[in-house]
Amino acid sequence: MRMQSRLIAGRLKIKVDGFTAKVKRDLLRHKYIYIMLLPVVAYYFIFHYGPIYGAVIAFQDYSPALGVEGSTWVGFQNFTDFFHNYYFWRLIKNTVLLSFYLILFGFPAPIVLALMLNEVNNTRFKRTVQTVTYLPHFISLVVICGFIVNFTSRGGIINDIIETFGGERYNLLLKPELFRSIYVVSDIWQTVGWGSIIYLAALTNIDIELYQAAMIDGAGRWKQLMHITLPGIAPTVIIMLILRMGRIMTVGFEKVILLYLPSTYETADVISTYVYRMGLQKFSYSYSTAIGLFNSVINCSFLIFANYAGKKVNNTYLW
């Protein structure tokens, strides 16, 4: 009898010993680990989740004097204002097109470079190419934009070349129709080497026996590329593409801010630069936050969609 009741009590105790108690025990047992994690958690709470909470001002008519608590709520007013904005379609078009070109030309570039490097047998040459092509990644954006401004100016080297072929000199950055090309080409220049690292890492993981077997079967280099190398790096490519899709509406706007001019807004002004101008130069905090939030939500939907597509097509996914 006593035994039984004790057992029941024991069972009850386990039941009572729920999540909070478990956490408490774990906090005590790993107290040093939690002490170490504390500043990190605090950092994320303040500087990442703080702004996520702060984004509620997108639904307000926020005034810094009244704060988030005191400002009036306006529902989706800021969003509808943006959708009816004269520049709405221009901003969407510019953002999507620039991003689309970056993916179309910029995404395959490092893959091609990695495959080219993979065909090089001379290790020293390979390493030299790698070292040299990584370098632009470490040069500051301001300096790179300085190069771009300099090289595309009237007296710049690109105009020297244009003139040699009988063209006329003009300041290329003032031409709206050239902005995307300048942006994409310089972006590839800056990222192609560094971007290839991840694919080179994936290439080294391919089992060398596969190549040996293929060679015995008489497969040439092209066939090896098509049937071993490409399928071997496919999962990496898809993961990178999923991640890239999650940033489809976020073009590196620091570079746009550095390079655009009112005369090229027509093609260069993207959502994030508009947010920057509205928020930090014109102080429409709520309005620009709403646009930023809209942008974030679209990004997230693309990420979820790309992840779903990756799952379906190649069974490769992030979560």
For other proteins, the closer CB: 193 or 310 = 193
CA distance 314 to 184: 29
Window 72 to 101, contacts with other proteins (CB under 8 A): none
Window 46 to 65, contacts with other proteins (CB under 8 A): 46-55, 57, 64
Q: How far is the CB of 89 from other proteins (least distance, A)?
A: 21
Q: Site for other proteins (CB under 8 A): which residue of 8, 220, 230, 266?
A: 220
CA distance 61 to 285: 8
Q: How far is the CB of 106 from other proteins (least distance, A)?
A: 15
Q: How far is the CB of 40 from other proteins (least distance, A)?
A: 4
Stretch binding other proteins (CB under 8 A), from 7-15, 74-82, 94-102, 140-148 = 140-148
Q: Site for other proteins (CB under 8 A): which residue of 201, 226, 230, 313?
A: 201
In order, the DSSP letters of the chain are -HHHHHHHHHHHHHHHS-HHHHHHHHHHHTHHHHHHHHHHHHHHIIIIIHHHHHGGGGGEE--TTTHHHHSEE-TTHHHHHHHT-TTHHHHHHHHHHHHHHIIIIITHHHHHHHHHHHT---HHHHHHHHHHHHHHHHS-HHHHHHHHHHHHSTTSHHHHHHHHTT-----GGG-HHHHHHHHHHHHHHHHHHHHHHHHHHHHHTS-HHHHHHHHHTT--HHHHIIIIIHHHHHHHHHHHHHHHHTTTT---HHHHHHH--GGGHHHH--HHHHHHIIIIIS--HHHHHHHHHHHHHHHHHHHHHHHHHHHHHHS----
Window 156 to 175, contacts with other proteins (CB under 8 A): 157, 160-161, 163-164
Give the contact letters, 245-274, x = binds to other proteins (CB under 8 A), - = no.
-x-------x--xxx------------x--
Q: Is 303 in the site for other proteins (CB under 8 A)?
A: yes
Residue 270: exposure state from Cβ atoms within 10 A (0-12, 13-18, ≥19): buried
CA distance 199 to 196: 5
Q: Is 41 in the site for other proteins (CB under 8 A)?
A: yes
Q: How far is the CB of 259 from other proteins (least distance, A)?
A: 8
Window 117 to 136, contacts with other proteins (CB under 8 A): 117, 119-121, 125, 128-136
Q: Is 234 in the site for other proteins (CB under 8 A)?
A: no
Q: Site for other proteins (CB under 8 A): which residue of 7, 9, 21, 280?
A: 280
For other proteins, the closer CB: 110 or 267 = 110
For other proteins, the closer CB: 98 or 110 = 110
For other proteins, the closer CB: 145 or 251 = 145
Q: How far is the CB of 19 from other proteins (least distance, A)?
A: 9
Q: How far is the CB of 2 from other proteins (least distance, A)?
A: 34
Q: Site for other proteins (CB under 8 A): which residue of 11, 30, 93, 223?
A: 30
